[in-house]
Copies of this chain bind each other. A is one copy, B any other.
Amino acid sequence: MKIVKAREVGEREVERLLTKAAFDEVELNPKIRESNRKLFGRDMSAAELVRQIVGDVRRDGDKAVIHYTKLIDRVELTPENLLVSEAEFEAAEQAADPAVVASLRKAAENVRRYHQEQKPNSWMTYRDQGSILGQSIIPLDRVGIYVPGGTAAYPSSVIMNAVPAVVAGVREIIMMVPPKNGKINPYVLLAARAAGVKKIYKIGGAQAIAAMAFGTETVPRVDKITGPGNIFVTLAKKEVYGHVDIDMLAGPSEILIVADKTADPVYTAADMLSQAEHDPLASSIVITDDEELAGKVAAEAEQQLAKLPRREIAQASIDRNGLIVVAEDMMQAMRFANVSAPEHMELLTAQPFQLLPYVRHAGAVFLGAYSPEPLGDYFAGPNHVLPTGGTARYYSVLNVETFMKRTSIISYTQPALAAVSDDIIRLAETEGLQAHANAIRLRRNEKC
């Protein structure tokens, strides 16, 4: 674990360490590169590979989806079993532990309740002479959710994507999950069905994103794609963006903990590791004004790490991206935190609400010793699909409006239009758009 002191290295150097590379600079690890060479017979960047897959799926539909699923996921699919069957749902119900199902239900209910509070209303406002302006906020028709498979199965991600879409009023929700040995985790299936997802496909990676963006014989085209994934999923989302909307481009997960001398080093280290165990590329950062705490957290993290089942992943992440910054004071610590714009920001300080007004850039903020990140990942209600890699500067946490869109409403009466017609004609003619001016002049019974 690296410890740096702002006093010694300077603010600029700390800021440099805290500013992460953008998603397109993520280098594929050599294993993936080697395996791509074997599969495709030539060196390809991840972006080139993704463009090829997206183009093929757009042109050849199911055929290309089945081809790439066999090639990459080593699973043989047919058009008939792309879709999860009723028998597979029943098997999932047999396999599931009822206590886990009950916990998933409670989590989904908390998520539903929180997101219900986000739901906006359409509105109208009355103006002069019978005119009305307004804004309709309308749910999307059909959305597609991507749920990663990979090193772990994430039923919680199903809830976090599907429930807000349901609350928004989306008419149809479909879902893509990469199959592992041809199967999908039972809790993923049950969480999806409970949340109201109609169709689940056993497709992963860039081919899943392309299938949802353009539609295939089996997969209906959606209006928006949400949910996180690996670098191929992320690049595919960028490639199809514009043909379809997407939630955001997300990279590896991060936590940044702002801690003062009152922070418990045991909790602080545990929260770092709860991020580090996700991914070797995940990053875990502590910023504190207390040098003593910095040392204790580093030592405690080492101890806790040794006992983790996913210690290889967590160790790789800590070695690569573990960082403790000793700031000169808490205001400098908050400045650093905002420069990082982390996905998760914990405030492990004596008076965390005092710092809330200084948080400008974060996906989610966790206040105080009893609000650890896993509370938000699983249960409290706010969403866990969050902007990463510094993109909290401009992206929002997934929310109900992610699944809605806004339409303006304009209704003027004859006298209301007449009252402003000189101004409109003047502006249209200034811009050289005579037909715009004519549309107004003709309504004043002028000849054009």
Binary contact track A364-378/B, C-beta < 8 Å → 1, others 0? 111111111111111
Q: Are A372 and B408 in contact (CB under 8 A)?
A: no
Bound Cα distance from A31 to B159, whole angstroms: 52
Measured between beta carbons, the chain B residues less than 8 angstroms from A242 are 22-24, 238, 249, 391
Asked if A153 is an interface residue, CB under 8 A from chain B, the answer is: yes
Bound Cα distance from A410 to B373, whole angstroms: 9
- Partner among B132, B224, B360 whose Cβ is within 8 Å of the Cβ of A138: B360
Measured between beta carbons, the chain B residues less than 8 angstroms from A22 are 242-243
- Partner among B241, B271, B310, B414 whose Cβ is within 8 Å of the Cβ of A249: B241
Q: Are A394 and B440 in contact (CB under 8 A)?
A: no
Q: Are A439 and B394 in contact (CB under 8 A)?
A: no
Q: A136-B359, A428-B374 are in contact. Are A405 and B392 (CB under 8 A)?
A: yes
Bound Cα distance from A369 to B364, whole angstroms: 47
Copies in the complex: 2
Q: Are A410 and B304 in contact (CB under 8 A)?
A: no
Q: Are B393 and A397 in contact (CB under 8 A)?
A: no
Main SS of chain A's interface residues?
mixed
Bound Cα distance from A370 to B416, whole angstroms: 8
Bound Cα distance from A440 to B359, whole angstroms: 25
Q: Are B273 and A438 in contact (CB under 8 A)?
A: yes
Residue of B nearest to A187 (CB): B430
Q: Are B373 and A439 in contact (CB under 8 A)?
A: yes
Bound Cα distance from A353 to B99, whole angstroms: 51
User: How many A residues face the partner with a CB closer than 8 A?
Assistant: 126
- Partner among B23, B310, B367, B443 whose Cβ is within 8 Å of the Cβ of A433: B310
Asked if A382 is an interface residue, CB under 8 A from chain B, the answer is: yes
Asked if A133 is an interface residue, CB under 8 A from chain B, the answer is: yes
Q: Which of A416-430 contact B (CB under 8 A)?
A: 416-417, 420, 422-424, 426-428, 430
Asked if A401 is an interface residue, CB under 8 A from chain B, the answer is: yes
Q: Are A396 and B392 in contact (CB under 8 A)?
A: no
Name the distance in Å between A311's Cβ and chain B's nearest Cβ.
9
Q: Are A408 and B435 in contact (CB under 8 A)?
A: no
Bound Cα distance from A361 to B138, whole angstroms: 8
Name the distance in Å between A129's Cβ and chain B's nearest Cβ.
10
Flag the segment in A3-11, A84-92, A100-108 that touches B: A100-108
Asked if A274 is an interface residue, CB under 8 A from chain B, the answer is: yes
User: Which A residues lie at the B interface, using CB under 8 A?
Assistant: 22-24, 97, 99-100, 103-104, 106-107, 114, 117-118, 120, 123, 125, 131-133, 135-136, 138, 140-141, 152-156, 187, 223-224, 238, 241-245, 249, 266-267, 270-271, 273-274, 276-278, 304, 307-310, 314, 352-353, 356, 359-383, 386-387, 391-397, 399, 401, 405-414, 416-417, 420, 422-424, 426-428, 430-440, 442-443, 448
15 contacts between A and B (CB under 8 A): A24-B242, A100-B426, A100-B430, A135-B382, A135-B399, A138-B361, A154-B431, A245-B395, A277-B436, A365-B408, A368-B413, A369-B443, A374-B424, A383-B408, A397-B408
